[in-house]
Amino acid sequence: MDSLIAWAAWLEATALGEQMRSSALLYPALNLLHLLGLVLLLGPMLLLDARLLGAGRAFSLPAVSQVLTPLAVVGLVLLLGSGFCLFAADAGPLTIDRLLQLKLLLIVLGVANALLFRRLWNSRLANWDQAVPALGRVQAALSLLIWLLVMSLGRLLAYF
C-alpha cells in the first residue's frame, strides 16, 4: 500500500496533476467528458442487459449487441482516460478513499463479468431466447447491479 500511496503522490505532483488543478477549463472539460463516457457506457449496457433479461424480444439479441457493445466500449475508454486525469488532480487523498477503492474494484468486476460473458455466450446469442442460460441471466443482472453501483459511487465521491 505504501508504494501505491507514493505513486499517487508522484502522479499528483506531475505536470498532469498540476495542470488538472490549475486550469480553469481542463478539469471541468474532462469532468464533462467523464459524464459523456458514463452515458455511453451505462446507456447501452443497461439496454443490453435489459434485453438479455427478456425485455424487448422483438429486437434480435445479436443485432442489439452488435449496435450497443461498441458504444459501451467507447464509453468505457472515455471513462478510463478522463477518470485517470481527474484522479491525477487529487491522487494522494483519493488513493486511500474507501469509496474510490470500492468503485475501482467494481469496475474491475464489471469488466471481468463483461469479458466472461462475451467468452461464454457471444456465439450463442442467436439462440438465447429459445434456451435462456440461467448463468447468463445472472451475469446480466449482476452487470446491471455493478454498473449502477459504480455510477452511484462515482457521484458520491464528490460529497464524502
Q: Residue 158's pLDDT is what?
A: 84
What is d(CA 129, CA 150) in angstroms, rounded to the nearest whole number? 29
pTM: 0.90
Residue 85, phi then psi, degrees to nearest 5:
-65, -45
What is d(CA 118, CA 116) in angstroms, rounded to the nearest whole number? 5
Q: Residue 60's pLDDT is what?
A: 94
Segment 1-59, tens digit of pLDDT: 789 999 999 999 999 999 999 999 999 999 999 999 999 999 999 999 999 999 999 99
Segment 51-108, tens digit of pLDDT: 999 999 999 999 999 999 999 999 999 999 999 999 999 999 999 999 999 999 999 9
* Domains in the chain, number: 1
Three-state secondary structure along the chain? CHHHHHHHHHHHHCHHHHHHHHCCCHHHHHHHHHHHHHHHHHHHHHHHHHHHCCCCCCCCHHHHHHHHHHHHHHHHHHHHHHHHHHHHHCHHHHHCCHHHHHHHHHHHHHHHHHHHHHHHHHHHHHHCCCCCCHHHHHHHHHHHHHHHHHHHHHHHCCCC
Q: Residue 131's pLDDT is what?
A: 87
Domain that residue 9 falls in: 2-156
